Amino acid sequence: MPEDEERASRVAALREEIAQLQRAVDSHAVVDQAIGVVMAWSGVRPETAWEVLRDVSQHTNTKLREIAEHVVRWPRGGGLPEQVRAAMGAAVRRRVPVGGRIRLKERNTCALR
């Protein structure tokens, strides 16, 4: 019987590990999509888009995955929360030279120059 309990415990641990890995894969996909949105919106390179998302997460004290989910919904008409919009605009402005091609509209939408 102790062997059965050990096996059951190991199976439970492996199931939890699989669930964690699946969540990580899902999260990674959303973050990658958000990097693409930031790149298209601001014209920055992938590394810079990643830094922007990370900065927004840190400055708003919001999980990166949540920020990524907002950003992915944004081009389809989902507004950005004001705090996220402001942090994202600031993060991009810190990285895009003056006269760069981004502009954040006040009405919570994205626009390219």
Domain range list for the chain: 32-112
> Residue 108 has what pLDDT?
44
Contact 31, 53 (CB under 8 A): yes
Report how far residue 12's alpha carbon sits from residue 84's, in angstroms, rounded to the nearest whole number: 38
**Coil/strand/helix, residue 112:** strand
What is the helix (H) or strand (E) element at residue 21, kind and residue range? helix 2-42
Q: What is the pLDDT along the chain (113 residues), one digit of tens a residue?
A: 788 889 989 989 989 999 988 888 777 899 999 999 999 988 899 999 999 999 999 999 999 999 999 999 999 887 899 999 999 999 999 887 666 555 544 444 454 33
**Coil/strand/helix, residue 26:** helix
Cβ burial of 63 (10 Å; 0-12, 13-18, 19+) is exposed
Enter the DSSP assignment of 94.
Answer: T
